[in-house]
Each structure stands twice: as C-alpha cells, then as structure tokens.
Amino acid sequence: METTDQLAKKAMGLNPTERIRLVEAILGSLDKPDLEIEKKWIAESEARYQAYKKGELAAVDWEEEKKRYSR
C-alpha cells in the first residue's frame, strides 16, 4: 500500500479539476450523518417553530444578527 506522501505526490500530478474531484470524494467519505443527531435536530427545529407560531419565541432579523457578531 502506498504512503500518504506517495498518494499526495500522485494527486499533485492531477489537473485541478481532478484534484477537486478527489478532495470531494475523500471529504464525502468522511461526512456520514448520524441519524440520532439528525432526529434530535429535527425535533428541536420543530419545537422552536411551534414556539414561534405560539408567540413564545421571537424572530431575529438576520442582518441585525450578522452585525452583532461581526464586531
């Protein structure tokens, strides 16, 4: 099996488009969603939406929020 350095050297010989595809393939193989976490995020977003509809949670303007954190 080739070492990481050997593979990297080979990858550098690819054209830019092929290198991007390689990077996307590698990153895609690492990005496996956790179904339990996904379920929890869905439940949380639904709860927040219901609270918003009932007037229990206020909406915040995105532009104002960006200004607040860009300082």
CA distance 5 to 63: 45
The predicted structure's pLDDT at residue 70: 85
- pTM for this predicted structure: 0.49
* 21 and 39 assigned to the same domain: no
For 45, the domain range is 35-69
CA distance 64 to 70: 10
28 and 42 assigned to the same domain: no
Looking at the structure of the chain, the number of domains it has is: 2
Query: Are residues 27 and 39 located together in one domain of the fold?
Result: no
Chain segment 23-66, per-residue pLDDT in tens: 999 999 998 889 999 999 999 999 999 999 999 999 989 999 88
Same domain, 28 and 46: no
Please indicate, yes or no, whether residues 27 and 44 belong to a single structural domain of this protein: no
